[in-house]
Structure 1
Amino acid sequence: MTYLMVLGGLVLLFIGGEGLVRGSVSVARKLNISELVIGLTLVGFGTSVPELVTSLRAINEGAVGIAVGNVVGSNIANILLVLGVAALIHPIITNPCALMRDTSIMVIVTALLCVLIWFDLFSRLAGFVLVACLLGYIAFSVFADQAAGDEVAEMHAGEGETVEANYGVVKGVFIALAGLVGVVFGAKLLVDGGVVIAREFGISETVIGLSIVAVGTSLPELATSAIAAFRGKADVALGNIIGSNIFNILGILGLTALVHPFSVRSMPSGDVTTDALASGAGHSLISVGDMSALVLSVALMALFAITGKLIARWEGAVLLLGYALYMGLTFNLIPVPAIL
């Protein structure tokens, strides 16, 4: 029964996420909103809604490991798994000038995430700052791209154009609302099932968040990127992944901390409290190895995307191999040298 809950949650998250994106994009087009704005806002935010709802649900259930592991694991999966699959389907021609701004911002917010985890700074104030940074990033991107109309603007407009949706306002609203309901119920099933599995097999909730939950909430990005790659627009997939990772850190963790401040440090008893760091007890739910995997994945993506102007199929295979290696280490399937 537990596995059916998890499977049902994954299905609802995928279908609901797709419905939410397609419905909202359809309404936006009927309101004559440009593809540039749609790509920067609705596509990036829409594909991150499963992560947002899942993290909020997990925090409400006291499963902090799932909430934070979901964001960290999703960002790793977006690069190593989603981008790897897209590159295998079709080599990704990149424009370093178009990617430089958003890639730089992704690197900065990834470093910020590592700092927040290291010092356990997920207070309501931190949540407010993260959300404010996200809104500032969106506003700056929209105005800058509309004014310049350069390769960056074309890339973001392409993200919006990949979503085929033209349902009319009423039908679009209905599909978007139905998708949102599906995401909410899917998140509940996935979190509840993940917690049960963790307890049954003695696996930490963080591992469940980094793996099953992270992959499940990344399914919309995987679908969007795979479709773009099949259509020969794999460069759009890269832009979508970068935008999604920025949304995940600034938007999801920001809103989660704003709604319910939390601590990533667990007490010896296994309980997670908001003042665990202040008491000097506990250890971080997100290990140095997990943060290292996140940083290395970002560095690898930047290296492949900016230096060669092309992410080839063999580089996509390297990304997928890296994800398989990370999952093997996460579940202790690969022996770790004693020196590490």
Structure 2
Amino acid sequence: MSIFYLIIGLVLLVIGGEFLVRSSVGLSLKLNLSRMIIGLTVVSFATSAPELIVSIQSAMDGLSGLALGNVIGSNIANIALVLGATALIAPMMIEKDFFKFNWPWMMLFSVVLYGMLHLGNNLERWEGVALVGLIILFLVLLIRRARKNPEAVDLEEVQDESKWWKIVLFLVLGGIALWQGSELLVNGAVQIASDLGVSEDIIGLTMVAIGTSVPELAASIIAAVKQEKAISLGNLIGSNIFNIGSVLGITAVIEPFTIDTNSMEILNNNLFWMIGVSFSILPLAYIARKFEITRFKGALYVLSYAIFTYLAFNTL
């Protein structure tokens, strides 16, 4: 029955994430936002909704390890698995401006999270407020930059997606699916962990993280196939920023995290993985074809994720 709950929960999260992405993009088109802003903000926040719902549900159930593992594992999966798989389908060019703003912010959030967790093996309410404040600052600076370099949005292909009734309908359906899916996913994951004798942290870092990263994978692959590279890469980087700033920030404000020593040891090792794969975009951008994530580089990312998963279970 736990496998059934897990599968149904994942399906509902995928459906809910898809509905929320459609609703969010439709709303952004109503507001005439650029594609890069759509990718970095609206789509990123929408595809991070499963992580947010699952983390809040886990924290309120007293499963802090699962909640934190979900976010850390999702950030690793977004770069190593999702970016890698997307590059295998369609190699992506990286704009030089990416390393002046987007990448530094992702690294800043990653390092800040590492520092906070090592202050006392927890995330207190004030730290959650600080993370939310940091994400607000990021959005303000991002919008200011966008105003200096406006980009027109072509509404012809997506005019049908920006009808108000569809925006509201997708928003409601997406919210319900995410809520129900998160409960089933958490219950199923906890039961599987108990049956296999695996800690909730490992399940959060792997199975749950992959499940909540499915919307990012779907959104990025679809964007890459449609040659919307700005949305694809922007979605992944923005999602990692939102996962830490808004997902962990909001969750900590609602229900502060307390991590036991054993869980902290497991999460600590994987924090280095998260920071490492995030940093790797910089050197890879200058190897072989400059400022391009080629299929070969994508294969390296996917291989690294396979190694990460193996090592995660090998710690048992």
TM-score (norm 1): 0.85
Deviations 1:47-82 (A, max 9, x none): 100000000000111111110000000000000000
Confirm or deny: 8 A CA contact 2:40 2:234 kept in the other structure: no
Higher relative contact order (CA 8 A, sep 6+): 2
Indicate the percent of aligned positions where both proteins have the same amino acid: 37
- Whether 1:322 aligns to 2:297 is no
Alignment of 1:83-122 (within 5 A): 83-119=83-119, 120-122=121-123
Alignment of 1:208-219 (within 5 A): 208-219=203-214
Alignment of 1:193-232 (within 5 A): 193-232=188-227
In structure 2, C-alpha distance between the alignment counterparts of 1:122 and 1:33, rounded to whole Å: 37
Alignment of 1:1-340 (within 5 A): 1-30=1-30, 32-35=31-34, 37-119=37-119, 120-149=121-150, 166=161, 168-266=163-261, 284=264, 286-305=266-285, 308-332=290-314
Unmatched runs of 5 consecutive residues or more in structure 1? 267-281, 336-340
Q: How far did 1:93 drift?
A: 1.1
CA 1:161/1:205 → structure 2, altered by over 3 Å: closer, same or farther? farther
In structure 1, C-alpha distance between the alignment counterparts of 2:159 and 2:8, rounded to whole Å: 25
Deviations 1:201-240 (A, max 9, x none): 1000000100111011111110011112212333532221
Give the root-mean-square deviation of aligned CA atoms: 2.4
SS in 2 for 1:203: coil
Confirm or deny: 8 A CA contact 2:92 2:294 kept in the other structure: yes
Q: Tell me which amino acid in the other structure corresponds to 2:302.
A: L
Q: How far did 1:292 drift?
A: 1.8
Residues 296-305 or 79-88, more deviating: 296-305
SS in 1 for 2:198: coil
In structure 1, C-alpha distance between the alignment counterparts of 2:125 and 2:19, rounded to whole Å: 31
Residues 117-126 or 163-172, more deviating: 163-172
- The number of aligned residues is 312
Deviations 1:34-57 (A, max 9, x none): 235544432111110000000000
In structure 2, C-alpha distance between the alignment counterparts of 1:61 and 1:210, rounded to whole Å: 17
CA 1:93/1:165 → structure 2, altered by over 3 Å: closer, same or farther? farther
Q: How far did 1:121 drift?
A: 4.4
Q: How far did 1:162 drift?
A: 10
CA 1:126/1:148 → structure 2, altered by over 3 Å: closer, same or farther? same
In structure 2, C-alpha distance between the alignment counterparts of 1:122 and 1:91, rounded to whole Å: 38
Deviations 1:121-173 (A, max 9, x none): 41110000100110111111112211233xxx68xx79x99988615112320
Residues 36-45 or 295-304, more deviating: 36-45
Q: How far did 1:294 drift?
A: 1.1
In structure 2, C-alpha distance between the alignment counterparts of 1:16 and 1:110, rounded to whole Å: 27
Q: How far did 1:33 drift?
A: 3.6
Unmatched runs of 5 consecutive residues or more in structure 2? none
CA 1:131/1:163 → structure 2, altered by over 3 Å: closer, same or farther? farther
Name 1:338's counterpart in structure 2: none
Q: How far did 1:88 drift?
A: 0.3
Confirm or deny: 8 A CA contact 1:54 1:187 kept in the other structure: yes
Q: How far did 1:283 drift?
A: 5.7
